């Protein structure tokens, strides 16, 4: 058969398959989340109105987004993607990493497009390894988001004691809590500057302090130190007390914990380096044998049993890496 006809048939088959999968997902979502009845819609509006009336001047999440700009590049696409629970997790991860751009366009360009494009390309140029690129690119995109989130978290937690000390000084100088928070957001660098600025704007829009703190804690993935900060603020506002002294003690505690963690890191440095060397040694030995003694390792690359051995070995090495990482991860 003509290769062009084969390509057209393949594209047609993929298009029909995509439409069929989309239709199945649509009807599955409609089955799992049926249209509410008029009575349920009315009850939902009444409950929403009651919730809005509990706190005078409170604003909704949609209103609080006005000063932050649009959430999506394409609002219709973003609204449609919000129907899937996994997109909510991805969107939270995207915001936690403070990625540039919009979550909907990043999801389409870096994840869904490679999953569809690379299998088609592999059938056109008859290069099967290209199929794995369709999995590698989305996996690398997710790994990059996790990497940026961890780096941002690390910067935030290092800056938190300085923010507490600055807020303590502002409170002792006569500022209110909201004013002290604004001073900290104006003087400190990113990323704590952005997060505190968002919290200040939320409070200015009428959102209660407890809810604004809860949003910050949720976005920062429930950091223990940030949870202690939020709990101290809420308790002080409900029961009273010297907030400046509480924040000063909390900042001192966090600094001492950092000091202890660095000491533990220094004492376990040799064991961690040994673990890294032992984890990389099998790959290094395999690379050396492949370059200098290919005939010795040739069965690993040219037989089904060798492929299975390589896969099992790589899988066990990855498991061992995560187990060793979990062992040396000491939480304080």
Domain residue spans in the chain?
A: 1-35, 150-266, 270-328
Q: What whole-number percentage of the chain has pLDDT above 70? A: 69
Q: Which CATH architecture has domain 150-266?
A: Up-down Bundle (1.20)
- The pLDDT, as a whole number, for residue 268 is 77
Q: Per-residue pLDDT tens for 13-26?
A: 666 666 666 665 56
Mean pLDDT of 276-296: 85
* Range from 92-101, 120-129, 138-147, 183-192 carrying the lowest mean pLDDT: 120-129
Vertex 56 angle, CA 51 and 60, to 5°: 55
Q: Answer positive or negative: Cα dihedral of 175, 176, 177, 178.
A: negative
Where residue 65 falls among pLDDT bands split at 50, 70, 90?
very low
Burial class of residue 182, CB neighbours in 10 A (0-12, 13-18, 19+) = buried
- The pLDDT, as a whole number, for residue 50 is 47
pTM over 0.75: no
């Amino acid at each position: 058969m003509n290769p062009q006809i084969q390509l057209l048939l393949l594209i047609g088959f993929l298009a029909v398959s995509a439409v069929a999968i989309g239709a199945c997902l649509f009807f599955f979502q409609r089955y799992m989340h049926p249209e509410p009845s008029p009575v349920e819609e009315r009850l939902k509006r009444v409950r929403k109105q009651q919730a809005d009336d509990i706190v005078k001047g409170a604003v909704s999440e949609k209103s609080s987004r006005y000063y932050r700009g649009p959430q999506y590049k394409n609002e219709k696409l973003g609204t449609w993607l919000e129907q899937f629970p996994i997109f909510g997790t991805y969107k939270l991860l995207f915001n936690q990493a403070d990625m540039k751009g919009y979550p909907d366009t990043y999801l389409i360009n870096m994840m869904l497009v490679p999953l569809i494009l690379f299998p088609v390309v592999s059938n056109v140029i008859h290069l099967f390894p290209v199929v794995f690129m369709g999995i590698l690119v989305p996996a690398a995109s997710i790994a990059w988001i996790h990497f940026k989130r961890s780096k941002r978290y690390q910067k935030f937690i290092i800056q938190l004691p300085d923010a507490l000390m600055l807020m303590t000084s502002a409170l002792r100088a006569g500022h209110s809590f909201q004013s002290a928070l604004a001073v900290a957001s104006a003087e400190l660098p990113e990323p704590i500057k952005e997060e505190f600025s968002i919290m200040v704007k939320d409070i200015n829009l009428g959102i209660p302090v407890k809810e604004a703190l809860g949003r910050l804690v949720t976005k920062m993935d429930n950091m223990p130190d940030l949870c202690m900060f939020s709990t101290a603020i809420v308790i002080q506002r409900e029961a009273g007390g010297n907030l400046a002294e509480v924040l000063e003690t909390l900042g001192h505690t966090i600094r001492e914990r950092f000091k202890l963690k660095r000491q533990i890191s220094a004492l376990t440095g040799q064991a961690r380096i040994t673990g890294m060397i032992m984890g990389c040694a099998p790959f290094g030995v395999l690379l050396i044998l492949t370059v200098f003694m290919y005939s010795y390792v040739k069965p690993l690359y040219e037989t089904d049993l060798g492929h299975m051995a390589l896969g099992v070995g790589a899988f066990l090495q990855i498991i061992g890496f995560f187990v060793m990482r979990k062992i040396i991860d000491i939480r304080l």
